[in-house]
Amino acid sequence: MNIQPHRDEEAVTESGAVEVPKQVNQFSDLSPEVSSVLGHALSRTLEMLQQHNLASAEDCSQVANKVQSRWQLGQGADPIMSLARLRAGGGDMLDASVEMISSKLSGSLPFAPARVPFAARLIPPTTLYENHPEIHVICKLMLVPIAFAEDLDVIGIASINSYFADTIITHIKENIKNKTGVQPIMHNIRLDYLGWAKMCQKHFRQDV
């Protein structure tokens, strides 16, 4: 994936919040709309991490750099995973760290997503990915698999990051409605670390 150089850096405001450009690392082969979705999702997650005292401004700056660096390479990345690695490294505490951050963030949404341990067993919606390549690219970069899709009428989005999933839900609803006229019913599903890792490997052939 070819990437245009991007010179903007995250800035720490006087309040200590990390500012992330709304249009993150413009990909030469992706639309500005896709870059905007990535930037909005990352900015929103970092804001919530700080608001709920799960990360400092310095932590968020490091996480943002890590996530955007992987996106520049065309690889998937998630700020919760990056923060957990920053805290726990790659040791035995990684799973617990991801779960703690994930559960606290999801609980801050108006309707907390249900945690579904068996979601990783579901078959990837290959047809949806093939018919909507832009959706597939966004899901791959944000490591947010589509857990199920029933003829576009009912779609389930799965992630450890409920804010990433929530952002993708908005994009998918608009994308599918504009292309097909169908207004899908969307479900936000929260995954545990192991289930998420298995789904990302199955859907995107990528380790987390």
Burial label, 62 (beta-carbon count in 10 A; 0-12, 13-18, 19+): middle
Residues 43 and 90 in one domain: yes
Question: What is the rounded radius of gyration, in angstroms, for the C-alpha atoms of the chain?
Answer: 16
Non-local CB neighbours of 153 within 8 Å, separated by 6+ positions:
182, 184, 185
Residues 102 and 120 in one domain: no
Please, which pLDDT band fits residue 1 given cuts at 50, 70 and 90?
A: very low
Residue 3 has pLDDT above 90, yes or no: no
Would you say 100 and 87 are in contact if contact means Cβ atoms under 8 Å apart? no
Q: What percent of the chain has pLDDT over 90?
A: 63
Question: What integer pLDDT is reported at residue 22 of this predicted model?
Answer: 45
CA distance 197 to 52: 25
Domain residues for 90?
11-106
Domain-located, residue 62 = yes
Would you say 195 and 119 are in contact if contact means Cβ atoms under 8 Å apart? yes
Residues 87 and 134 in one domain: no
Domain-located, residue 51 = yes
Question: What integer pLDDT is reported at residue 16 of this predicted model?
Answer: 55
Q: Can you name the residues that pair with 185 across neighbouring β-strands?
A: 154
Residues 119 and 60 in one domain: no
pTM: 0.86
Query: Which of 66, 88, 106 represents a domain boundary (last residue)?
Result: 106
Q: How many residues are recorded in the chain?
A: 208
Residues 15 and 94 in one domain: yes
Domain-located, residue 198 = yes
Query: What is the overall mean pLDDT for the chain?
Result: 86
Residues 17 and 54 in one domain: yes
For residue 173, the domain's CATH number is 3.30.300
CA distance 180 to 128: 12
Domain-located, residue 128 = yes
Residues 15 and 79 in one domain: yes
CA distance 121 to 124: 9
Question: What integer pLDDT is reported at residue 103 of this predicted model?
Answer: 95
Question: What integer pLDDT is reported at residue 98 of this predicted model?
Answer: 95
Query: Which of 45, 78, 106 represents a domain boundary (last residue)?
Result: 106
Widest pairwise Cα distance in the chain: 48
Query: Which of 76, 106, 136 represents a domain boundary (last residue)?
Result: 106
What would the pLDDT profile of 9-47 be if each residue is shown by its tens digit?
A: 344 455 555 555 444 444 556 678 888 999 999 999 999
What would the pLDDT profile of 81-139 be if each residue is shown by its tens digit?
A: 999 999 887 677 899 999 999 999 999 998 889 888 888 889 999 999 999 999 999 99
Count up the domains in the chain and report the number: 2
